[in-house]
Amino acid sequence: MKFLVFLGSVRNSTPPRPARLGERVALACLQQLQARFNAHAEEHSFELIDPLDYPLEPVFKPHFAYSKRQVPPLLDALAEKIRSADGYVMVSPEYNHSMSPALANLLNHFGSSLFSYKPSAIVTYSAGQWGGMRAAVGMRTFLSELGCLPVSAMVHLPKAQEVFAEDGSLMAGEDSERWQDYFGRTFDQLMWWADATHKQRQQVDPNSQIGVFSRSPSERNIL
Ligand SMILES: Cc1cc2nc3c(=O)[nH]c(=O)nc-3n(C[C@H](O)[C@H](O)[C@H](O)COP(=O)(O)O)c2cc1C
């Protein structure tokens, strides 16, 4: 199966140092996923999606608002990755008790039909002591609306700059088994749901039963 790990920050500025703490958190997620599921390396791929690699137009125009021939190639390439993925890891900092606007902006560029009927895992972090918990609460609603239902366990990482080095590895003195257990609970749930929904999508195409909103909201809503 294929998984995308969305890095939710584009902030290359300080203070506080270091700039873009999210880079190390997203790399840590990738390392935890690869180590945990590496017995199945040929079956599973984990890809980092860095919003800095997808420069968006200054005026908001989602992927689905373009005519097919005019979609910017990078946006189209990301749409295809989202469509073909089986699950998502959403890594967000907490900005003013909310999810990262950079992550929300990137995700808003794609219709829920690309994300639907698959699971997601919420990973939040902060430089301070709460680990992005308040951002995570809002992310549940956001991701549910996108259709990639968040699994119940979540990862919250307070003072992430004291735990992860720039390459995502654990700093000296950290208990790696404890961290594996912590990430593992959420990522095992993600894998279980990804496997279940993958099989079910092959059995029954959800779009053959439940209409997709492509032209009018009436296609989706009963009333
Ligand atoms: C605009 C802004 C708002 C922030 N709000 C919060 C907050 O509500 N809670 C918190 O714990 N940290 C907050 N922080 C601190 C972040 O945890 C810290 O800057 C972290 O490095 C952000 O991740 P990033 O570097 O990957 O963007 C805020 C930072 C910024 C820039």
Please name which of 40, 24, 61 lies closest in space to residue 164, comparing C-alpha atoms.
24
Instruction: Provide CATH code, domain 2-220.
Output: 3.40.50.360
pTM of the predicted model as reported, rounded to 2 decimal places: 0.95
State in Å: Cα 18 to ligand 1 middle.
11
State in Å: Cα 48 to ligand 1 middle.
21
% residues pLDDT > 70 (the chain)? 95
Which atom of ligand 1 is least distant from the CA of 127?
A: 17
Q: Where are the chain's structural domains?
A: 2-220
Tens digit of each residue's pLDDT (9 = 90 or more) over 16-58: 677 799 999 999 999 999 999 977 556 899 999 999 999 999 9
State in Å: Cα 28 to ligand 1 middle.
18
What's the mean pLDDT when you consider all of the chain?
93
Q: Which ranges in 10-132 belong to alpha helices (H)? A: 21-36, 73-84, 101-108, 112-115
Which class for 218: exposed (0-12), middle (13-18), buried (19 or more C-beta within 10 A)?
exposed
Tens digit of each residue's pLDDT (9 = 90 or more) over 71-118: 999 999 999 999 999 999 999 999 999 999 999 999 999 999 999 999
- Position 215 confidence tier, pLDDT thresholds 50, 70, 90: confident
Residues framing ligand 1 (Cβ under 6 A): 9, 11, 16, 20-22, 93-97, 126-128, 130
State in Å: Cα 160 to ligand 1 middle.
11
CA distance 181 to 15: 32
